[in-house]
């Protein structure tokens, strides 16, 4: 007798549990609930995108500060004076090639050119 009562009670409890589970799933699949879930997901995605944009801005500011330090720019935004232009004579002597006139009177290579 106690065995039958135990199994009857166990079966009834399992039935109530399964019925409640099915009703919850059905409520989640109703159009109102689906719309609310979609809206919640959209809001959550918006928050994530906003946080990503803030992280990118912070990273950009950090990198800009690193570049300012590396380039020696002042905190007030004043740049150091850049060095003056290099002398043209220095540039020309560095890359000058030697040419001589050949038997035809035209300038030609001597084999001593910088390559």
pLDDT by residue, tens only, the chain of 115 residues: 888 999 999 999 999 999 999 999 998 888 888 899 999 999 999 999 999 999 999 999 999 999 988 888 866 555 566 667 766 665 555 555 555 555 555 555 666 656 5
Q: What local confidence, expressed as pLDDT, does residue 90 receive?
A: 55
Among the listed residues 91, 92, 109, the one whose alpha carbon sits nearest the alpha carbon of residue 100: 109
At 114, list the tokens.
């910088």
Q: What local confidence, expressed as pLDDT, does residue 59 receive?
A: 95
Q: Is the pTM of this model over 0.85?
A: no
| Angle, CA 59 vertex, CA 72 and CA 77 arms, to 5° | 30
Q: What local confidence, expressed as pLDDT, does residue 29 receive?
A: 85
**Following CA atoms 51, 57, 63, 69 in sequence, which dihedral angle do they give, to the nearest 10 degrees?**
-130
Q: What local confidence, expressed as pLDDT, does residue 18 receive?
A: 96
């Amino acid at each position: 007798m106690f065995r039958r009562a135990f199994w009857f009670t166990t079966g009834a409890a399992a039935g109530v549990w399964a019925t409640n589970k099915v009703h919850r799933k059905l409520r989640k699949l109703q159009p109102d609930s689906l719309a609310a879930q979609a809206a919640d997901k959209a809001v959550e995605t918006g928050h994530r995108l906003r946080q990503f944009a803030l992280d990118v801005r912070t990273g950009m500011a950090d990198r800009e500060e690193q570049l300012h330090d590396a380039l020696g720019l002042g905190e007030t935004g004043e740049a150091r004076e850049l060095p003056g232009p290099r002398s043209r004579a220095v540039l020309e002597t560095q890359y000058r090639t030697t040419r001589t006139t050949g038997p035809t009177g035209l300038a030609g290579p001597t084999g001593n050119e910088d390559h």
